[in-house]
Amino acid sequence: MKVTVCIGSSCHLKGSREVVESLQRLVGESGLDEKVELGGAFCMGNCQNGVSVKIGDEIFSVTPETVEKFFEENVKSRV
């Protein structure tokens, strides 16, 4: 499964780096390295609601504060 985080200008200012680092840590901690592939992408056209994170065709709005909840609800459940 591929999880793509937007690293465009707007999302960067809203905390892409924190989201990326949290996701990397959470994926590692849950031993999902083999199953979840993290990637970066430029603008997904959803800047107003950044940080944009994409799984399949679905775009989610994640912030550094909500990243753990997002991981539990949307990443783990799909593995």
Partner 1 sequence: MNDLCLDVGYRSLIKYGEQLCGDMVEVTKSEKGEFILVLADGLGSGVKANILSTLTSKILSTMIAEHISVEDCVNTMAATLPVCSKRGVAYSTFTIIKITDNEEAEIIQYDNPMVIMLRDGKLYDYPKTAKIIENKTIYETRIKLKCDDVFIAMSDGAIYAGVEQVLNCGWQRENIAAFIEAAYNDSQTAAVITSLLLEQCNLLYAEKPGDDTTIATVKLRRRKPLSLMMGPPRDPNDLSKMHTAFFSSTGRKIICGGTTASLAAEYLKKPLEAELTYFDPEIPPTSKIEGIDLVTEGVITMSKVLEYAKDYIDKNERYDEWSRKKDGASQIARMLFSDATDISFYIGRAVNPAHQNPDLPITFNIKMNIVEQLADCLKKMGKNINVSYF
Q: What does the binding site for partner 1 look like in residue numbers (CB under 8 A)? A: 5, 7-10, 12-13, 16-17, 20-21, 24, 38-43, 45, 47-48
Closer residue to partner 1 in complex, CB, 32/38: 38
Chain-centre distance for alpha carbon 27: 11
The least CB distance from residue 22 to partner 1, in Å, is 12
> Which residue matches tokens 């200012």?
13
H-helix or E-strand spanning residue 37: strand 37-41
Closer residue to partner 1 in complex, CB, 43/74: 43
Helix (H, G, I), strand (E, B) or coil at 53: strand
